[in-house]
Amino acid sequence: MRVFVLGVGATGSLLVQLLARQGHRVSCGDRDPERARRFLGKASPIPVHEVNARNIRSIVKAAHGAQLLINACPAVFNKIILRAALRLRTHYLDMAAHLTESPFRAEQLRFDRRFRDIRRTAVITAGVAPGLTNLLISAGADLLDTVETVHVRLYEATESDRPVSQWSAEVAFDEAVSQPRLYDHGRFRLGQRFSGREVFRFPEPIGPVGVVLAAQDEVVTVPHVIPLRTMDAKIGGADIDQLRRWYRQGKLRKSRGLVPSQFPRTPTPGTVDQLIHRGILHNARFAAAVIVEGNTHGRPALIRWDATVPSLYLLRRRGLLCSPIAWATAEMAALFVKHFPRNLLGVHPPEAFPAELRRAILRDVRSRDILLVKRITSDPPRKR
């Protein structure tokens, strides 16, 4: 398949290389081709075009002839890139929503009819969180007759002597200043940033961590597909603890804008190597957990999935100088491309895929060094 990847940063550059290894004919574009080359590696034969993601004509010109347009840019560009895909009459994939028009419905879904009209498929929020988490929620729901509650719990931690962005600074800032979304007894509502703190136990070596409400896309796509009562998403770890401190100190406000000292540019592989050698960057971790509660055969049941990815230390030992979250997002996006549902016309998040397709992707996840562990807890039958 001829694939064009727009946005060649920490995630996009890895995705480009993974797709090339899968046998796709890949080209890519970025606003800064020279910096994109530093992410890709100067020896990479993959062509890089200068593209302005704010300009539909620029995207259409660079991606002409592509069968799939992948949006690896910040989600603020989603609508522009979706329109470019429609003009190109190509399939589309992205990894996040921006929720600008409606806080409780992914903006990409507005394009569903137009993609159906041109008989093309758009796969949205197809990374690791969201993306893999959506698949795990569906896998849990498949085991239940009815779903009551869904909880997404994420862990992100960078062990560093100064702020180091695990991925796009723009994305990190946007998430930090956005209000969390909740689905509460059948209704969507906004929560307070960094509220709802609880202690959640992740698998070792992470263990118990304080987590707080966060703005996650899963909460605004899953309830539209899977009938349930309540859903939330919380994040914990050193990165979120720092953001919480800045928020309490009044240093984290949308009106202040993105402060480079708080949200530096994503480091290139060469910069990551330098930071490690200088003793500034020590390690980074990412993990995700999904808990689905409901009923099966008249009994309460709980399904928990844990997804653990290699740490920065382990990735570096494999010759990969990237953050765990960027690595996992690229790996998952590559799997979504491998299993791309060309016949599923319209716009779809992963939980809306047919069950067999979802299961096929999850089977492949285990071959990508993402550790998946499922636990099922059933209550004893109630006495009558």
Q: pLDDT (tens digit, 9 = 90+) per residue, 193-238?
A: 999 999 999 999 999 999 999 999 999 999 999 999 999 999 999 8
Domain of 303, in residue numbers: 132-322+362-378
- Digit-coded pLDDT (tens) for 260-306: 777 778 888 999 999 999 999 999 999 999 999 999 998 999 999 99
pLDDT for the residue numbered 313: 95
| 160/301 same-domain check | yes
Per-residue pLDDT averaged across 123-128, rounded? 98
Per-residue pLDDT averaged across 40-47, rounded? 90
CATH of the domain at 255: 3.30.360.10
Instruction: Read off the pLDDT band of 169 (50, 70, 90).
Output: low
Peptide bond into 130 cis (omega under 30): yes
| 296/368 same-domain check | yes
State how far the Cα of 47 lies from the Cα of 159, in Å rounded to an integer.
Answer: 34
pLDDT value at 382 more than 90: no
**Positions of E strands within 35-165:** 48-50, 68-71, 91-94, 121-123, 146-160
Of 106, 123, 140, the residue at which a domain comes to its end is: 123
Residue 345 lies in a domain: no
| 105/143 same-domain check | no
Per-residue pLDDT averaged across 60-85, rounded? 97
Residue 353 lies in a domain: no
Residue 212 lies in a domain: yes
Residue 343 lies in a domain: no
- Digit-coded pLDDT (tens) for 132-166: 999 999 999 999 999 999 999 999 999 998 888 77
Kind of pairing, strands 91-94 and 121-123? parallel
CATH of the domain at 119: 3.40.50.720
pTM of the model: 0.94
| 64/96 same-domain check | yes
What percent of the chain has pLDDT above 70?
Answer: 98
Residue 351 lies in a domain: no
CA-based torsion, 18, 19, 21, 26: positive or negative: negative
- Digit-coded pLDDT (tens) for 339-351: 999 999 999 999 9
